[in-house]
Amino acid sequence: MGRTVVVGAGKAAAAMARAVEDHWRGDPERLSGLVVTRYGHGAPTRRIEVVEAAHPTPDAAGQAAAVRILDAVKGLTPDDLVLVLLSGGGSALLAAPMAGVTLEQKRAATKALLSCGASIGEINCVRKHLSAVKGGRLALAAAPARVLTLAISDVPGDDLSTIASGPTVSDPTTCADALEIVTRYGIELSAFAHQSLLTGACETPKAGDPRFLRCESHIIATAQSALAAAAEVARAQGIAALVLGDAIEGEAREVARVLGGVALSCAAHGVPLAAPCVLLSGGETTVTVRGGGRGGRNAEFLLGLALALGGHRSIHAIACDTDGIDGSEDNAGALLLPDTTARAAAAGIDLRARLAENDAYSVFAALGDLVVTGPTRTNVNDFRAILIEPTLEVP
């Protein structure tokens, strides 16, 4: 029997590593490893080292950890097992740029992609092609050892090639795809990176590569499972529940307008559900940053929803990132209450002006309606619930 080397990245990586240790029944001397997680998301472990690094923009600590992870899986034998623990945030935390690209160049590209409104799939497509570890390259480094990946999905559609940018699976995207994305969004790359995409020199490994034959992957937690559990809790309280989807994408404020319309229909017409009911949804919206305010996609969704609902007296909502961090702020998300609009007006807060400035965080902070949980050490992406109560007749 060979060694078991545990490596991983993501906001849940430390908690996953601790769970591996808690359930390990083999010889402790045969277990070792290293995982990297976001600052503040660590957990105590005994055999598997936990390193903390920056997210969502990579830093030197993430780069050093990624290089060490690559080194840890090299030189193994067919008798060895590489257990890879992946969760949301892994793309930024596995920060090992390909040869010829500096960390600062990778940081600049990441910042630009995060603020331009690109989807997570588009962002990760570019990341994979400029990486030494993502897009299947970690699995290639581990060959001929067996590779078993356990992933917590934070991406719409639970696509293994997108979770943490798919370091252990073949990549269906191409250099041409990545080049089209950076061109469409006007992302500036170094001359070397641009030329590498143009010529296909940094192409990722594809399906059919024999080095993936000993690789196996399993998704162990998803947004859909979280939404289904929330629906069961609601129904147990006599509240009808409708899961609108676990893969909703688009601009946060536009998604808010659509879901606000559905909520108003429930309140006015009982369609698609009659009150009391709750509309549940997950996925990952985006924010195109045009203003200079503070915010995250969940807070911006709720600010857009407040405007769409116009202070409806029977509708409440919550929107949070399940990892406890809404974008790069210190809150998980926020609450929207029937009196939010009125309280904002009384405080002299212009909601439309704040939305134009991408300043949703400041709105909900001023109203005392931020949801602050701290790191949850898990991540199945965003969770949104809109509760519609029966409308009371006012005499």
For residue 122 the two structure tokens come to: 């588009």
Element (DSSP H or E) covering residue 148 = strand 146-152
Dist CA 16 CA 2 (whole Å): 22
The owner of tokens 């409708």 is 242
Is 223-388 a domain of CATH 3.10.20.30?
no
Predicted pLDDT of residue 1: 74
Dist CA 384 CA 231 (whole Å): 12
Dist CA 86 CA 226 (whole Å): 18
The owner of tokens 């699976």 is 169
Name the CATH code of domain 4-221 (choices 3.40.50.720, 3.40.630.30, 3.40.1180.10, 3.40.50.10180). Answer: 3.40.50.10180
- Tell me the pLDDT of the chain (395 aa) as tens digits: 799 999 999 999 999 999 999 999 999 999 999 999 999 999 999 999 999 999 999 999 999 999 999 999 999 999 999 999 999 999 999 999 999 999 999 999 999 998 898 988 999 999 999 999 999 999 999 999 999 999 999 998 899 999 999 999 999 999 999 999 999 999 999 999 999 999 999 999 999 999 999 999 999 999 999 999 999 999 999 999 999 999 999 999 999 999 999 999 999 999 999 999 999 999 999 999 999 999 999 999 999 999 999 999 999 999 999 999 998 899 999 999 999 999 999 999 999 999 999 999 999 999 999 999 999 999 999 999 999 999 865 44
The answer to whether 53 and 38 are in contact (CB under 8 A) is: yes
Q: Which of 81, 190, 71, 65 is nearest to 145 (CA)?
A: 81
Residue type (1 letter), 287: V
Predicted pLDDT of residue 392: 64
Predicted pLDDT of residue 395: 42
**Edge-first strand listing for the sheet containing 81-86:** 48-53, 31-38, 4-9, 81-86, 146-152, 215-221
Conformational region of residue 5, where left means phi above 0, alpha means psi within -120 to 50, and beta covers everything else: beta
Dist CA 267 CA 312 (whole Å): 9
Dist CA 342 CA 221 (whole Å): 39
Predicted pLDDT of residue 95: 93
Predicted pLDDT of residue 393: 53
Q: Where are the domains of the chain?
A: 4-221, 223-388
Strand partners for 8: 35, 85
Residues 6+ apart with CB under 8 A from 161: 135, 169, 170, 171, 172, 173
Predicted pLDDT of residue 327: 84
- Answer whether the bond into residue 375 is a cis peptide, omega within 30°: no
Q: What is the DSSP letter of 133?
A: S
The answer to whether 328 and 56 are in contact (CB under 8 A) is: yes
Dist CA 134 CA 89 (whole Å): 13
Predicted pLDDT of residue 117: 87
Question: pTM value?
Answer: 0.91
Q: How many secondary structure helices (H) and strands (E) does the chain include?
A: 14, 12
DSSP 3-state of 185: helix
